[in-house]
Amino acid sequence: MRKYLVALAASAILAVVVAQPAAAAEPVREDFTRDGTAVLTGVCSFPVTVEFTQTGTDTLFFAQDGTLKRVKGHVVEQDVFTANGKTLVGLPYTFNVRVLFDSETGEVTNVFASGVISRVPLAGGDLFLTAGRLDFAAHGSSFLVQPDVGAQGNVEGFCEALSP
């Protein structure tokens, strides 16, 4: 999510610089492809490295003065999890993200994601599937696989598949 926010901020800055004053209040749609690496902690008893690829569309909304107010993103992501010499390849999944900004400072105040959060086939035909709503700002983390509200998935099977 940190990579998402950095790319989002860069896109927002470019949109503000290029936007003409009369059109500053018009939403701006941007298609994107992003990839990155994160470390997932707090799920298994060991850290898990995650390589992710995202494609989608962001819609940036501005106040009349051109200040970025919020961003709505529609994202398709695929993750690859590695730990202890083992790898799990996730299936593509879709979610929506909403980023809100403080009107005074321009700082991010909330980052909410809703939809599927992770979808990973496990041995024996089982599936690690989590879905629901996630508040990234509340957790202070850039990559999470368990929602605040919703289905938690087969965490035990996920961790067992990556354990030493």
89 backbone dihedrals φ, ψ, rounded to 5°: -105, 120
Give the total number of structural domains in the chain.
1
Give residue-wise pLDDT tens across range 60-111: 999 888 889 999 999 999 999 999 999 999 999 999 999 999 888 888 888 8
Tell how far CA 2 is from the center of its chain.
Answer: 8
Mean pLDDT of 105-130: 90
pLDDT band at 137 (very low <50, low <70, confident <90, very high): confident
Q: What is the pLDDT of residues 11-67, one digit of tens each?
A: 544 454 444 444 457 899 999 999 999 998 889 999 999 999 999 999 999 988 888
Domain that holds residue 141: 2-162
Distance CA(56)–CA(74), nearest Å, equals 5
Phi, psi angle pair for 21, to nearest 5° = -50, -40
